[in-house]
Amino acid sequence: MAFMESARDGGGPHVLSGASATRLPSTWQRMTLELIGTFFVLMGIAVGVLTLCFALVVVDGITH
């Protein structure tokens, strides 16, 4: 992907202006946000699995 962008831009070095460089989040901020997002996704999957197990136990109890 970066190769295609550099070919389209002429292959020159990319220079960030001072204003655009200050708006970019630092590496640890991006990593923290990605870890929080991953945690929420995994917690959502865990809650879904537990809900499914609970529903199956309730249905099994009703049918017997």
The mean per-residue pLDDT over the stretch 21-29 comes to 76
Q: What confidence score (pLDDT) does residue 15 get?
A: 60
Higher model confidence: residue 24 or residue 50? Answer: 50
Alpha-helical segments (H) within the chain: 2-8, 18-23, 27-63
Mean pLDDT of 22-50: 91
Residues 6+ apart with CB under 8 A from 25: 33
Type of residue numbered 32: T
Distance CA(32)–CA(64), nearest Å, equals: 48
Q: Which two tokens stand for residue 31?
A: 């990593």
Average pLDDT over residues 27-37: 93
For 16: left if phi > 0, alpha if psi spans -120 to 50, otherwise beta; the answer is beta
Average pLDDT over residues 9-35: 72
At residue 1, the pLDDT reads 47
Each domain of the chain, given as residue ranges in start order, spans 25-64
